Amino acid sequence: MIARYPGYFLITTIALVLLCGAMPPYGQKKLQLETLRQGVKAWNKWMKQNPGKEVDFFRADLRGAKLNGANLSGVRLEGANLRTADLRKANLNKADLRGAHLEGANLCGADLSEADLSSAELRGASLKEINLQGARLEGVELLRADLSEADLSEVVLQGANLKEADLRMADLRKADLRGADLRGADLRGARLEEADLSRASLSEAQLRGADLRGAQMEEANARGADLSEAVLSEADLTGADLSGVDLSKATLEGTNLSKVTLNDACLFKADLQKAMNLSHGQLILVKTLIGAQLEAELKRRLKNEAPHLLD
C-alpha cells in the first residue's frame, strides 16, 4: 500500500493529528525543538498554551542556545548538549538534566530547584545566585565553580567535587555533603545549619564566619581550615581532624568534640565553656588558648601544666 501510494503515510499522519490530536513522539520532539529555536518569546508562549505537555529533549543538541529567561520547567534534558548555552534566569524547576553537558553554560540566577543534575558536567559553568534548592547533584563535577550566594539548601551533593569552589554566602542549610571534596573551597559567611558534612574533605577551606549550628561533621577532615568566628553550636564533630585549624573567636557551645584532633589548633578567644566531651588531653596539644572561655576545672589544670597556652 505504502509503495503503491507514496503519500499514504503522510496523509495518515495528518489524519491522526486532526482526528486524535496525536503526533508520533519523534514528530512532537521535532516540532518542540523548532519552536524553541524560534526564540524564548515563542517558546514561553507555547509552554503557556500547553500546560502539562510532556517535553522531551533527550540528547538534544542545544549548544550555545540563547535561552535566558526560558521556561523549561519539568523538561527532559537528559544527556542534552547545552555547552556554552545562555540559561540566565531560566526556569529549570524539576527538569531532568541527568548527564547533561553544561560546560561553560551561563546559569546565573537560574531556578534549578528540585532538578536532577546527577552526573551532569558543569565545568566552567557560571552558577552565581543559582537556585538549587532540593536538587540532586550526586557525582557532579563542580571544581572551582562559582556558587557564591547560591541557594543550595537541602541539595544532595554527596561525594561531589567542590574543590576550590566559590561558595561565599551560599545557603547550604540541611545540604547532604557527605564525603564531598571541599578542599580549598571558599565558604566564608556560608549558611550550613544542620548540613551533613560527615567524612567530607575540608582541608584548607575558608569557613570564616560560617554558620554550622547543628551540622554533622563526624570524621570530617578539616586540617588547616579557617573556622575563625564560625558558629559551631550543637554541631557534632566526633572523630573530626581539626589539626592546625584556626578557631579564633569561634562559638562551640554544646559542640560534641569527642575524639576530635586539635593538634596545633588556634583557639584564641574561642567559646569552649559549654563544649561537650572536651578533654585536657586534647587541649594540651593546641597552639594557643589565650582569651578562650573554658570550664573552671579545665582552666585550672592547664594553668598548672601548660600556662603558656593561656598567657
pLDDT 10s digits, 75-114: 999 999 999 999 999 999 999 999 999 999 999 999 999 9
Does some domain include residue 26? no
Number of domains in the chain: 1
Does some domain include residue 157? yes
The domain that contains 241 carries what CATH number? 2.160.20
Q: Using an 8 Å Cβ cutoff, are 254 and 275 in contact?
A: yes
Q: Using an 8 Å Cβ cutoff, are 264 and 285 in contact?
A: yes
Does some domain include residue 175? yes
Confidence of residue 4 (pLDDT cuts 50, 70, 90): low
Cα–Cα distances in Å, from 288 out to 198, 268, 284, 306?
A: 27, 6, 9, 10
Owning domain of residue 277: 142-311
What is the structure's pLDDT at 227? Answer: 98
Does some domain include residue 292? yes
Closest CA to 93 of 78, 71, 109: 71
Does some domain include residue 90? no
What is the structure's pLDDT at 15? Answer: 42
Does some domain include residue 289? yes
Task: Give the mean model confidence (pLDDT) for residues 14-19.
Answer: 41
Confidence of residue 311 (pLDDT cuts 50, 70, 90): confident
Task: Give the mean model confidence (pLDDT) for residues 204-219.
Answer: 98
Residue 295: CB atoms within 10 Å: 12
What integer best gives the mean pLDDT of the chain?
Answer: 91
User: Does residue 9 surpass a pLDDT of 60?
Assistant: no
Q: Using an 8 Å Cβ cutoff, are 86 and 66 in contact?
A: yes
Cα–Cα distances in Å, from 130 out to 26, 88, 119, 300?
A: 32, 9, 18, 50
What is the structure's pLDDT at 79? Answer: 97
Of 27-36, 44-53, 189-198, which gets the smallest average pLDDT?
Answer: 27-36
Does some domain include residue 226? yes
Does some domain include residue 52? no
Rg (alpha carbons) of the chain, rounded to whole number? 26
What is the structure's pLDDT at 201? Answer: 98
Confidence of residue 2 (pLDDT cuts 50, 70, 90): very low
What is the structure's pLDDT at 12? Answer: 47
Instruction: Give the span between the Cα atoms of 254 and 16, in whole angstroms.
Output: 69
Instruction: Give the span between the Cα atoms of 300 and 74, in whole angstroms.
Output: 62
Confidence (pTM): 0.82
DSSP letter at 309 equals: G
Task: Give the mean model confidence (pLDDT) for residues 172-195.
Answer: 97
What is the structure's pLDDT at 61? Answer: 96
